[in-house]
A = this chain, B = another copy of it.
Amino acid sequence: MSIQFNTKVDCQYCPIRHRAVCARCDDSELEVLNAIKTYRSFEAGQPIVWRGEPLQFVASVVSGVASLTKTMEDGRTQMVGLLLPSDFIGRPGRREIEFDVTATTDVTLCCFEYKAFETLVNDTPHLSQRLMELALDELDAAREWMLLLGRKTAREKVATFIEMLVRRSKVDDIEGNRPEMALPLTREQMANYLGLTLETVSRQLNALKKDGILSFTDRRNFNVTDISQLHLETGDDADGGVIS
- Given A74-B238, A132-B135, A145-B147 contact (CB < 8 Å): no
With both beta carbons as reference points, the residue of chain B lying nearest to A73 in the complex is identified as B238
Interfacial residues of chain A within 24-81, with CB under 8 A of chain B in the complex: 68, 70, 72-74, 76-78, 80-81
Q: How far is the CB of A45 from chain B (nearest CB, A)?
A: 22
Chain A 133-192 residues near chain B, CB threshold 8 A: 133, 135-136, 138-140, 142-147, 149-151, 192
Count A interface residues, CB 8 Å: 42
A80-B132 in contact (CB<8A): no
Cα distance A194–B146 in the bound complex, in angstroms: 10
CB pair B133 A132 closer than 8 Å: no
Question: Could you tell me if B92 and A146 are in contact, using CB atoms closer than 8 angstroms?
Answer: no
What separation, in Å, do the CA atoms of A178 and B72 have in the docked complex? 28
Asked if A98 CB lies within 8 Å of chain B CBs, one says: yes
CB <8 Å contact, A70 and B147: yes
The residue that A135 contacts in the complex, of B68, B136, B149, with Cβ under 8 A, is B136
Q: What B residues does A70 contact at CB under 8 A?
A: 143-144, 146-147
Chain B residue nearest in CB terms to A192: B150
Chain B hits for A129, CB < 8 A: 93
Nearest residue in B to A149 (C-beta to C-beta)?
B149
CA distance A227 to B23 in the complex (A): 48
Q: Encode A96-120 as 1/0 by CB contact (under 8 A) with B.
A: 0011000000000000000000000
**A226-243 vs B, Cβ < 8 Å mask (1 yes, 0 no):** 000000000111100000
Flag if A78 contacts B147 (CB, 8 Å): yes
How distant is the Cα of A70 from the Cα of B146 in the complex, in angstroms? 9
| Residue A204 CB within 8 A of the other chain | no
Per-residue interface assignment for chain A, residues 190 to 202, with 1 indicating a CB less than 8 Å from any chain B CB and 0 otherwise = 0010110000000
Given contacts A72-B147, A151-B195, 16 further A-B contacts (CB under 8 A): A72-B151, A73-B237, A74-B235, A77-B151, A78-B146, A78-B147, A93-B132, A93-B133, A98-B143, A131-B132, A132-B135, A135-B135, A135-B136, A139-B142, A146-B146, A149-B150
12 A-B interface contacts by CB (under 8 A): A68-B143, A78-B147, A78-B150, A93-B129, A93-B136, A94-B136, A128-B128, A132-B135, A135-B135, A142-B142, A149-B149, A150-B194
